[in-house]
Chain A
Amino acid sequence: MARQAGLLDPETINRAEALGLHARYVVEGYMAGEHKSPFRGFAIEFTQHREYVPGDDIRHLDWKVLGRTDRYYLKQYEQETNYVAHVVLDGSESMKYGSIGRPHGATVTKLQYGKMLAACLSYLILHQRDAVAVGVFDTAMKSFVPRTGNLASIHNIMNALASFEPREQTNIANVLHTLAGQIRRKGITILISDLFDDEERILDGIQHLRFGGGEVIVFHVMDPYELEFPFSGMVEFEGLEMPEKILTRPREIRKSYLREVASFRARVREGCERQNTHYQLVNTSHPLHEMLSGYLAFRLRTHTR
């Protein structure tokens, strides 16, 4: 349990929960707009009444209201989906990088941040009584908590997340393809990664996932130092994944580096958006709750019209 501590930030959960409720509509609505739902008509939970307009299915008329008030109202129901969300977290060595202590002085690596994000999302989804499957991968899926709809399983998830230690390089595309083959039902795949891989292949994997009809959300985790490159003087950079050393004066190549990063992000983002995939940059220096609630609010804003 000690290792799980910190994965679930109460503030984050609090704020995400409120948003997450709406998010579910969004997900549903989004899904409904895109695909024919097999569950339509099997309404289970009543939501509201609506006045009848000609052409409506009279099966949904509320006879009781008609009998009492002589008015035609339709009963509307909340469609309850039990989609499966796959939260896949990149656990490669590159994720071990963390620059500055956040928020209370402790250094936060991208992996830690990703774990927190994964945990929060899992909790959120389970709390909505949706099913979630959580996996941590590097070259292949390494630690996997199978689909569960039980909120109590959050402990398993958190345990699996907390206990994961990165050891290998990343191969996101491979994992995504594998995942796409495994997913039988349409759902949401949430990819949490620094994406330090060949972006073309990553985009291929996303496309594969999307091809099955599921939604993909990409959380691109970056350390602020990776985004800003604020080094000066003579610095020797030692590769985390690659056994490589580069000695340079970072100040003088900063612009070029930033340009590289920006163009990479632009390419990824563009690729994602082409596939109607949300791309969200996650700066580990920003508090998780801000980022998450910001994203969820964004979803809410863009998809509940």
Chain B
Amino acid sequence: MLLNPLLAWLGVAAVSVPILIHLLNKRKFDRVVWAAMRFLRVSVEQNQRRIRIEDMLLLALRCLLLLLLGLALARPVARSFAAGGWFGQTKVTAVVLLDNSYSMSATDGAKSRFQMAQDAADQVVSALPTGSSVSVLFASDNVPTGPIPEPTFDLSLARRLIRDARISDRATNLFPAVKKGLETLDKNAAPARELYLVTDTQALGWKQFGDIRQSLETARKDVHTHVVLVGSPETQNIGVSDLRLLSGPAVVGYPLRFEVQLTNYGRTEVRDVRVKIRVDGEQPSDEGSIDAIPAGSSKSLLLFAKFKNEGGHAVTAEIDHDHLPADDSRTIAVRALSQVRILLVDGEPGAGGREAETFYLKNALLPVPRAEVDQYYNKVTVIPAQELDTAKLDPYDAVFLANVTDFTPSTIDAFADYLKRGGGLVFFPGENCQANQYNNVLARKFQFLPATLDEARGDASRDDQFVLLQDKNFEHPIARLWNDPASSGTLNVHFYRMFDLVPLGDEKQGPDVTKNAQGVEVGRPRTVLRFQDGKPAMMERTWGAGRVVLFASTADTAWNDLGARPNVFIPLVHRTLGALVERQDDALNVKVGERFAWRADGRLIGKEALITRPGANLGDPTAAEPRRIGLVNNTPLLTYDDTSYAGAYQVKITAEEPISLTFAAQPDPDESRLEELADGQVSELSKVADVTRWQATQNLSDLIQKKRVGTELWKYLAFIALALATMETILAHFFSKAK
């Protein structure tokens, strides 16, 4: 096609010029009356044919020269795609998808992938023909948002916004972005539509490769897709893949054990990795190092931290920066408590003291001399099962139910309310339990329990027949402590009789959270501890904002000797209590990109909350984003969606009594995996899109323009014309030499 077709006609017209000159020249001559015709005739006869050929040759050369010049001025291009107009380039509607997941923070030392992607996107926008519109979307793991969700004609604005774009700590899944981009283009029925996907070669983003390919294939005739891959493959990366509180409840003033999990995502073993832990950005409270992490595996380390005061704290574990800095630290929000209030409901109080079903539980929760019980942070209240119906559960952080026979409907409603607000329930069955009600109401109807109670097995009266607990491969966070026998001892407990727990749902498969009939989010049942025969001994599930734990055996020593083994029972109970209390913290820890939702007190409805992002200056009023606490499904909720950045978010709620909160967003550790998109996939992708592996030295604008309008040929034409002109001059000189 020609970009300036008018000039091509000019060129065609110009071709007539040498012909005219040629013809005019033939008419313009000198007349000489000549005597020596005979010599002349011979010469002419000898030469006329040659002269004519030479003339024709020169004429052809000159015509060609002008034609080429005209063509060159017309800016011809070898077309490759996109419909073109006769006057200049077609306006394009483009969507630029800029991958801002944290793998894009990988840097080669000089520039991060994201900076390169910004450069690339900038060049993409600048390559758009005048009058084009562009939409810029960020592609990461969830619904793609972006500074320009709908195409704008203000290309300079687009470029500025691309310049100012910040990388997030999200993971990548490019498919939603591609889909959104195609939808946006679909709505804007421009003649030329282009989709630009600027991303790195991380395989993770392409996990829905088939879908991406399919949708690009479908849209192919309408939308031209460019995939710009930036960044060079990274072979080494260590990241803090997990950080959690491992000891019991986070109580002020007590040293708390945190587990830091480091993962080596690289291809070679990494040695001597130093890890630090700090609270609220202060000096590290503890540090340690891991000798060696083999390639592709994870190792954990226990570090201690202490909270000085009650309330929300941000705990950060960090390692030295490597090429991918985003995953070198991980922050969780932990709510520090000054005391933990526990309600023990005794289904078989007996005569009290040792006979009480809750005797061992109470002791385990208060593992201090009697004189210090008042100072101890655990505040334990024991009530008999009969009082459960009237008891208020809300003041308690956790409720332990030991061998309670059955529950009134009002109690069950109270459980539901309690759990919704973040309470924790622990069920210890026993002889008194009406398994039917447990199973039908608690387990099946309300889905409180993670499992149903099957037949009880074993004989409690025989000491010689017992079942032991598993002694290794503890997966659940509550039990993970015992993975390290050196520090935690062994679970040498004899179980003489227990219920068979039948999990309500698959532990490994299915969604983490499902909604029950009442619209409450119910977590997948998970096994905490198993017997050596593999059957579950302890299970838990989340329910609403709370958590429910179910044991297979009794809380007292009727069916087992757990209570008699404080070295096992105390940490187990404390870990369980910690898990229940922490459940309230779960709401404070979201994955990057997930919505933060905080269940507020009813009095706070309509109040404003100021949320400050990680890294922003707390004193800076412009850094804080205002949100209002609203009523969602009759629940007062503070929600915040823009959790694109990992780290601690500070929330200040302006009420009569100002409330401050800390919540934290953790990046998806999967994003740290830097596996590359397979070559086969790249070539597969090339079938539906233009794939460019872009280096900073390349001129992407040119590349794109060439692809859009084809290669401009005028340079070549001009060059040929020049060569022709030279040839013409030489030939003309040579021809006009006397012969």
Contact = CB atoms under 8 A, between A and B. Distances in A.
A252 B55 CA distance: 11
Contacts, number: 107
A242 B736 contact: no
Nearest to B27: A234
Chain A CB count within 10 A is highest, among B35, B40, B51, B737, for B35
Interface string A244-260: 10111101111111111
26 contacts: A93-B35, A95-B35, A110-B35, A196-B36, A223-B35, A226-B35, A226-B39, A231-B30, A233-B29, A234-B29, A234-B30, A235-B31, A236-B31, A237-B32, A238-B31, A239-B37, A240-B34, A240-B35, A246-B44, A247-B26, A249-B51, A251-B736, A252-B51, A256-B46, A260-B43, A261-B36
A52 interface: no
Nearest to B42: A260
B370 interface: no
A25 interface: no
A209 B416 CA distance: 152
B34 A257 contact: no
A168 to B, nearest CB: 14
A194 interface: yes
Contacts of B36: 94, 97, 194, 196, 226, 261
Given A251-B736, A252-B739, A256-B46, A261 B30 contact: no
B738 A254 contact: yes
B127 to A, nearest CB: 54
Interface in B80-113: none
Chain A CB count within 10 A is highest, among B34, B735, B739, for B34
Contact of A240 (B37, B51, B736, B739): B37
Contact of A247 (B29, B38, B737): B29
Interface residues of B, number: 28
Contacts of B40: 237, 246, 248, 253, 257
Given A94-B35, A238-B34, A253-B51, 12 more contacts: A196-B36, A234-B26, A234-B28, A236-B31, A246-B40, A247-B29, A248-B47, A253-B43, A253-B739, A259-B43, A260-B42, A260-B43
Contact of B47 (A244, A256, A261, A264): A256
Interface string B717-739: 00000000000000000011111
A186 interface: no
A62 interface: no
B739 A256 contact: yes
A241 interface: yes
A234 B739 contact: no
B35 A196 contact: yes
B686 to A, nearest CB: 59
B43 A240 contact: no
Contacts of A208: none
A236 to B, nearest CB: 5
Given A236-B30, A236-B32, A255 B37 contact: no
Contacts of A147: none
Contact of B39 (A96, A110, A242, A261): A261
A237 B40 CA distance: 9
A194 B34 CA distance: 13
Interface in B238-263: none
Interface in A198-250: 223, 226, 231, 233-242, 244, 246-249
B32 A96 contact: no
A57 B29 CA distance: 75
A251 B34 contact: no
B48 interface: yes
Contact of B736 (A93, A252, A261): A252
Interface in B4-50: 25-26, 28-44, 46-48
Contact of B41 (A231, A246, A255): A246
Interface in B681-739: 735-739
What 9 A-B pairs come out closest when comparing CB atoms? A234-B29, A254-B738, A97-B35, A237-B34, A94-B35, A256-B43, A260-B39, A255-B738, A257-B43
B37 A237 contact: yes
B59 to A, nearest CB: 14
Contacts of A95: 35
Given A252-B735, A252-B738, A96 B28 contact: no
Contacts of B735: 252
Nearest to B34: A237
A196 B30 contact: no
B27 to A, nearest CB: 9
Contact of A235 (B29, B35, B736): B29
A19 to B, nearest CB: 30
Contacts of B38: 196
Contacts of A253: 40, 43-44, 46-47, 51, 738-739
A253 B32 CA distance: 16
A30 to B, nearest CB: 33
A264 B39 contact: yes
A93 B37 CA distance: 12
A223 B40 CA distance: 14
A275 to B, nearest CB: 23
B739 to A, nearest CB: 5
A104 B565 CA distance: 147
Interface string B383-419: 0000000000000000000000000000000000000
Contacts of B737: 252
B552 to A, nearest CB: 115
B139 to A, nearest CB: 72
A111 to B, nearest CB: 10
Contacts of A255: 738-739
Contacts of B32: 231, 235-238
A264 to B, nearest CB: 7
A240 B33 contact: yes
B28 to A, nearest CB: 6
Nearest to B737: A252
B700 to A, nearest CB: 55
Nearest to A109: B35
Contacts of B33: 97, 237-238, 240
Contacts of A235: 29-32
Contacts of B37: 237, 239-242, 244, 246
A248 B739 CA distance: 13
A259 B46 CA distance: 12
A87 B622 CA distance: 125
A95 B33 CA distance: 12
B329 to A, nearest CB: 87
Contacts of A242: 37
A236 B29 contact: yes
A223 B34 CA distance: 11
Contacts of B26: 234, 247
Contacts of A96: 35
Chain B CB count within 10 A is highest, among A196, A226, A246, A258, for A246
Contact of A248 (B28, B42, B51): B51
Contacts of B34: 97, 237-240
Contacts of B31: 235-236, 238
A247 B32 CA distance: 10
Contacts of A196: 35-36, 38
